[in-house]
Structure 1
Amino acid sequence: MSRFVELKSFYKNVRNPVQEPANNEIGHFNIFRVEDLWLSKHRSVNYNRRDFFKISLVTGQGKIYYADQCIEANGSVLVFTNPMIPYFWETISEEQTGYVCIFTEAFFNRFNSISEYPVFQHPDMAVIPLTTEEAIEYDNLFVKIYAELQSEYVYKYDLLRNLVMEIIHGAQKMQPAHGNKHIGSNASERIAGLFAELLERQFPVEFNNQRIKLNSASAFATQLNIHVNHLNKALKEITGQTTTQLINDRILQEAKILLRSTTWTIAEIAWSLGFEEPNHFSSFFKTRINTTPKNFRLSAND
């Protein structure tokens, strides 16, 4: 199981942060120079998830393990990572330069749904190799962001959003890098591990305005950038169950918890667990444990 990295943990690896803003109504945003991050050379591969988005411009030699791919970087690359997919950056060369920009989804919520952009949705679009000229162009953008964050301009966060969007749109027009499938000890084990991380990342459901985004085999396959048949085969080999069975078992487990521990309506629980209609949820629940959600809640509270 990969480690989950929170913002406060990330800051422990920063020597001289520009600033450490508190999370508030505008979300969280910051930028760092790669030189100011504590990087360990030749660490063993250990995929980690973050609770924030990250855009990195890095010049140096390394390997990027993202989903089930391994991409070798030797020069300058742009890398886009989202909280859903575990990833790891293995540094090889001693010298690593560039910038790392981090932000929460809330920073863009009033303007764009940042997670919907292809560079954050698909691992095969997340790593962009740069020519010398392109590296200079993007370095200038990151320098602007770095300087602007320290300014006293009242509307600087609006400007920062625009600069970040310029990086995103520019990258999406470019050709992404293509890596080799990271087989490791066993390809099916890697896929099963990544699937489990994605599944568990959605739980627990703590608020009735929180909704799981991935609740079907095809949705998980799309997120992992593999064919749904490939995903099913890997999970069947490792767990003995299909993708749909594993998803449904976890949703059922969460449904029982919510029915026992909250006063949410059946409709609110159904919506939070990805069902479009309450009756679909009730049918799903009754088919599996031979009782309705309402009766289950009543018996649990007796």
Structure 2
Amino acid sequence: MKTTEFQVLHTVTDYTRYYGLPAPAHPLLTLINLAEVRERTFPDPVVSHLYTIALKRGLKGTMYYGRQTYDFQDGVLMFFAPVQVVQTEADLDISEMTGWTLVFHPDLLRKYPLGQKITSYTFFAYEVHEGLHLSAKEEQLLDGVLSSIRHEYEQSIDAFSQDLLIAQLEVLLGYANRFYHRQFLTRRLAENDLLSRFEAQLTAHFSQAGHQALPTVQQFAEQLHVSPDYLSDMLRALTGQTAQQHLHHALIERAKHLLLSTSLTVNETAFQLGFEYPHCFTRLFKSKTGLTPAAFRFSAH
């Protein structure tokens, strides 16, 4: 069996060297104008320890992010988190590529609140078709923010450089977050279909008789071919509850049914639902209903 060779890029300088780009003017950040610089592509998968935000147009071919193909159609903003695998096929044609790529090291954010806040931007974990679809006006707005970042990036580094770069980067991510939520609100048909399929899977899972494994959000997301973060964000936008909250609701409803319609003990009910330890079931049930399973059963008689 052939062993896959991974190219590991630890620094911004590693990134620019690997792709044959000009050396970065800042040790922790680089902004690349793709109309001026054509990236080289390699078939080996790349594992970057950097954050990457890119708007690429004119690409032809196949790109993979993780285990899935990335849809890089025009007007789609892509987000790659550190230690994610990105790979391109040999057929990727970059001869007409335009757009920009912003690459920055996590160390740039370490001493700032953004260092923690960036982990809440779930679009960095999204997969292939979950890129951010921009309107022409939104592209122009982000181009303005990028111009400010470029202006500061090209200045000589002084005591204010990092503070200003972080402030502008936070503006960029804030707009991206706003646009993602707009996307959730304007893609109702597809999302309602996803919601219907999710609810159907929940119903099917909990209607099965006999012992089964405790369900997880990851399990349902894989069945729906989306990431867990995307599923939760979509459900929160449509229903106000995350995927985990939906799962807990269905789990408690199933537990109530078993407690009231069968002679199973509380421990047997816990095992039937997939809990390895009955006390975990009791704790969850009480947190959701205000009663222990035994007290709930007693109160119904």
Secondary structure class of the residue paired with 1:226 = helix
Secondary structure class of the residue paired with 1:72 = coil
Query: What displacement does 1:145 show?
Result: 0.7
Contact 1:115 1:121 in 2 (8 A): no
What is the aligned partner in structure 2 of residue 240 from structure 1? Answer: none
Contact 2:39 2:94 in 1 (8 A): no
**Which residues in structure 2 correspond to 1:75-94 (within 5 Å)?**
75-89=74-88, 91-94=92-95
Distance 1:72 1:120, change over 3 A: closer
What is the aligned partner in structure 2 of residue 206 from structure 1? Answer: none
- Count of residues in Structure 1 that have an aligned counterpart in Structure 2: 183
How many Å separate the matches in 2 of 1:148 and 1:161? 11
How many Å separate the matches in 2 of 1:50 and 1:126? 20
Query: What displacement does 1:65 show?
Result: 1.8
How many Å separate the matches in 1 of 2:21 and 2:72? 24
Query: What displacement does 1:4 show?
Result: 1.6
How many Å separate the matches in 2 of 1:138 and 1:147? 14
1:68 maps onto 2:72 in alignment: no
TM-score (norm 2): 0.50
Query: What displacement does 1:30 show?
Result: 2.3
What is the aligned partner in structure 1 of residue 29 from structure 2? Answer: 29
Query: What displacement does 1:136 show?
Result: 1.7
How many Å separate the matches in 1 of 2:216 and 2:128? 17
Identity %: 16
Contact 1:54 1:82 in 2 (8 A): yes
How many Å separate the matches in 2 of 1:136 and 1:89? 28
What is the aligned partner in structure 2 of residue 102 from structure 1? Answer: 103
**Which of these residues, 170, 174, 182, is aligned with residue 165 of structure 1?**
170
More moved, 84-93 vs 52-61: 84-93
Counterpart residue identity of residue 103, structure 2: I
How many Å separate the matches in 1 of 2:21 and 2:81? 23
Q: CA RMSD in A?
A: 3.7
Q: Which has the larger radius of gyration?
A: 2
**Which of these residues, 19, 41, 47, is aligned with residue 25 of structure 2?**
19
Query: What displacement does 1:137 show?
Result: 1.6
**Which of these residues, 123, 133, 139, is aligned with residue 127 of structure 2?**
123
1:149 maps onto 2:153 in alignment: yes
How many Å separate the matches in 1 of 2:130 and 2:26? 26
Distance 1:116 1:105, change over 3 A: farther
How many Å separate the matches in 1 of 2:128 and 2:46? 18
Distance 1:105 1:82, change over 3 A: same
More moved, 97-106 vs 62-71: 62-71
Distance 1:60 1:72, change over 3 A: same
Counterpart residue identity of residue 29, structure 2: F
Unmatched segments (≥5 aa) in structure 2: 188-214, 227-301
Query: What displacement does 1:125 show?
Result: 8.0
Secondary structure class of the residue paired with 1:49 = strand
Distance 1:89 1:98, change over 3 A: farther
TM-score (norm 1): 0.50
**Which residues in structure 2 correspond to 1:267-282 (within 5 Å)?**
none
Query: What displacement does 1:86 show?
Result: 0.5
Query: What displacement does 1:122 show?
Result: 3.1
1:137 maps onto 2:133 in alignment: no
What is the aligned partner in structure 2 of residue 263 from structure 1? Answer: none
Query: What displacement does 1:103 show?
Result: 1.5
Query: What displacement does 1:64 show?
Result: 3.8
Secondary structure class of the residue paired with 2:101 = strand
How many Å separate the matches in 2 of 1:84 and 1:18? 21
How many Å separate the matches in 2 of 1:161 and 1:77? 23
How many Å separate the matches in 2 of 1:4 and 1:15? 17
Query: What displacement does 1:9 show?
Result: 2.8
Contact 2:54 2:100 in 1 (8 A): yes
